[in-house]
C-alpha cells in the first residue's frame, strides 16, 4: 500500500492539497486513475456516477491509504440531480476547485441503424451531462472566482469516425463547450481544458468498442506507437493539465494518442521505396 499510483508519480507530493475535486465516472477506467492520482496528491475527491458498485474500488483503497474520497450516485443526464449534487458538495466542502467531466457512454453502430434512443443515450451522457455539470459546478466556481474543468473528449471530435456518429458529435460539442467556457470564464479565474486520448483499455471500451481480440489487434496495428495507451498514462497527462504547472493553459485540447491521428501513411516503410 506504499506505492504512489503511476499517474501521480510525476508531480510533487501534496500538489493538490486542500483542493476539492469532482470526477464524473470516477469509479472505473480513466476516471478511477484520475481520482486515485488526485487523492494521492492530497485532494478531497468526490466521484459521481450511476452505479454504487462502481464506487467501491476507490472507496476501499481510500480507506486503506488514508485518502479523502467519497462517492455520490448521480446520473449526469438529470440536470436537477446534478444541481443538487453540486450544491451539496459545495455546502459540505465550502468550495469546488476541480471538475473532471469524464463520464461517457459509447458503442459502435452504423449510422443508418442508430435509433433515436441510442443517439439520445450517448448525446445525453456526453454532451448534456458535461453541460449540466459545467453549469452547476461552474456557478460555484464563478462565486469563488476560482476553479478549473477538464473535459475528456476523443480525437474523432474533429476527424469524425465511422460507427460512432453519436459519440463523435457529442465530443465535438464538448470541445466547443470547453473553448467557449475557457473564453467566457477566464476573467473569473476559471480554466477549461480538454484531453483527447487514443484507445486505452477499460471495461466499458472493451465491451462496447473492441469486443474481441481481432478487432483489438486491427486497431493496435493502426497506431504508430503500436500499442494502446494505459489509463494511467492518460491520467498522468490529466493531472499535469490540472496542476499548477499548467496555470497558463486554457481552452486547449491535449492529444494523447500514440500518433494515431497523424494519418494513414502512404508508405508503411519509406526505406523500402526507391
Given the rule CB under 6 A, which residues bind ligand HXC? 104-107, 109, 115, 117-118, 121-122, 154, 167, 198-199, 204-205, 208-209
Active site residue 156: yes
Report what 121 binds from ligand NAP, ligand HXC, none; CB cut-off 5-8 Å by kind: ligand HXC
Residue with cell 493531472: 239
Identify which of residues 107 and 137 has a Cβ nearer to ligand HXC in the complex: 107
Report what 31 binds from ligand HXC, ligand NAP, none; CB cut-off 5-8 Å by kind: ligand NAP
Identify which of residues 106 and 151 has a Cβ nearer to ligand HXC in the complex: 106
Which of 39, 62, 76, 181 is close enough to bind ligand NAP by CB under 6 A? 76
Report what 109 binds from ligand HXC, ligand NAP, none; CB cut-off 5-8 Å by kind: ligand HXC
Question: Which member of 67, 131, 132, 156 is catalytic?
Answer: 156
Rounded-to-integer distance, Cα 153 and Cα 38, Å: 20
**Hey, which residues between 9 and 38 contact ligand NAP (CB under 6 A)?**
24-25, 27-31
Q: Please, what is the minimum distance in Å from the beta carbon of residue 231 to ligand HXC?
A: 11
Report what 237 binds from ligand NAP, ligand HXC, none; CB cut-off 5-8 Å by kind: none
**Closest to 257 (Cα-Cα) out of 273, 242, 237, 274:** 237
**What cell was used for 103?**
463520464
101 three-class SS: strand
Indicate whether 125 belongs to the interface with ligand NAP (CB under 6 A): yes
**Hey, which residues between 49 and 68 contact ligand NAP (CB under 6 A)?**
49-51, 54
Q: Give residue 25's region: left, alpha or beta (phi > 0; psi -120 to 50).
A: left
Give CA separation, 18 vs 38, 42, 94, 97, 143, in Å: 11, 7, 11, 9, 18
Q: Please, what is the minimum distance in Å from the beta carbon of residue 115 to ligand HXC?
A: 3
219 three-class SS: helix
Residue 19 CB-density burial (10 A; 0-12 exposed, 13-18 middle, 19+ buried): buried
Buried b (16+ CB within 10 A) or exposed e, 21-42: bbbbbbbbbbbbbbbbbbbbbb
Indicate whether 159 belongs to the interface with ligand NAP (CB under 6 A): no
Rounded-to-integer distance, Cα 248 and Cα 256, Å: 20
Indicate whether 256 belongs to the interface with ligand NAP (CB under 6 A): no
Q: To the nearest 5 percent, what fractions of the chain are helix, strand and coil?
A: 50, 15, 35
Which x/- pattern, by CB under 6 A, does the window 191-230 give for ligand NAP?
------x-xx-xxxx-------------------------
Neighbouring residues of 141: CB distance < 8 A, sequence distance ≥ 6 = 96, 97, 99, 147, 148, 185, 188, 189, 190
**What cell was used for 113?**
441503424
Tell me the catalytic residues: 156
Task: Kindly list the residues in this chain that would bind ligand NAP in the complex (CB under 6 A).
Answer: 24-25, 27-31, 49-51, 54, 74-77, 102-106, 125, 129, 152, 154, 197, 199-200, 202-205
Amino acid at each position: 500500500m506504499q506505492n504512489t499510483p503511476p499517474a501521480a508519480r510525476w508531480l510533487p507530493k501534496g500538489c493538490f492539497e486542500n483542493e476539492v475535486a469532482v470526477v464524473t465516472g470516477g469509479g472505473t477506467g480513466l476516471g478511477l486513475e484520475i481520482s486515485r492520482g488526485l487523492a494521492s496528491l492530497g485532494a478531497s475527491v468526490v466521484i459521481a456516477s450511476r452505479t454504487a458498485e462502481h464506487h467501491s474500488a476507490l472507496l476501499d483503497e481510500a480507506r486503506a491509504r488514508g485518502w479523502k474520497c467519497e462517492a455520490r450516485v448521480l446520473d449526469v443526464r438529470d440536470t436537477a440531480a446534478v444541481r443538487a449534487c453540486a450544491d451539496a458538495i459545495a455546502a459540505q466542502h465550502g468550495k469546488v476547485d476541480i471538475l473532471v467531466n469524464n463520464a461517457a457512454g459509447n458503442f459502435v453502430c452504423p449510422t443508418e441503424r442508430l435509433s433515436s434512443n441510442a443517439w439520445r443515450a450517448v448525446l445525453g451522457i456526453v454532451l448534456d451531462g458535461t453541460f449540466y455539470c459545467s453549469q452547476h459546478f461552474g456557478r460555484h466556481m464563478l462565486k469563488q472566482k476560482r476553479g478549473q474543468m477538464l473535459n475528456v473528449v476523443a480525437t474523432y471530435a474533429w476527424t469524425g469516425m465511422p460507427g460512432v456518429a453519436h459519440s463523435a458529435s457529442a465530443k465535438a460539442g464538448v470541445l466547443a463547450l470547453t473553448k467557449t467556457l475557457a473564453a467566457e470564464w477566464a476573467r473569473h479565474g476559471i480554466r477549461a481544458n480538454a484531453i483527447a486520448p487514443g484507445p486505452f483499455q477499460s471495461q466499458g471500451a472493451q465491451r462496447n468498442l473492441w469486443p474481441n481480440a481481432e478487432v483489438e489487434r486491427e486497431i493496435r496495428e493502426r497506431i504508430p506507437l503500436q500499442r494502446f495507451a494505459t489509463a494511467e498514462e492518460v491520467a498522468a497527462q490529466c493531472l499535469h493539465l490540472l496542476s499548477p504547472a499548467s496555470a497558463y493553459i486554457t481552452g486547449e485540447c491535449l492529444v494523447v494518442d500514440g500518433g494515431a491521428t497523424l494519418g494513414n501513411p502512404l508508405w508503411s516503410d519509406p526505406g523500402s521505396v526507391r
